[in-house]
Amino acid sequence: MRATVKLVLRNDYVRKDGKQQLFYVFKIAD
């Protein structure tokens, strides 16, 4: 689960609209 969060975090950095996606992953990881 942690690996998925890290992967999204990297994508979030490249995409400016990835902030919302990061929140989604955080909820799933929780």
CA 26 to each of CA 5, 13, 15, 17: distance values in angstroms, whole numbers, following the listed order: 7, 15, 17, 15
Nearest to 23 by CA among 7, 5, 2, 1: 5
Q: Could you tell me the residue ranges of all domains in the chain?
A: 1-30
pLDDT at 20: 57
Looking at residue 30, what DSSP letter applies? -
pTM of model > 0.85:
no
pLDDT at 29 over 60: no
pLDDT at 18: 56
Mean pLDDT over all residues of the chain? Answer: 59
Rounded Cα distance between 18 and 26, Å, is: 12
pLDDT at 7: 59
CA-only gyration radius of the chain, Å: 8
pLDDT at 12 over 60: no
Tokens found for residue 23: 């929140």
Confidence of residue 15 (pLDDT cuts 50, 70, 90): low
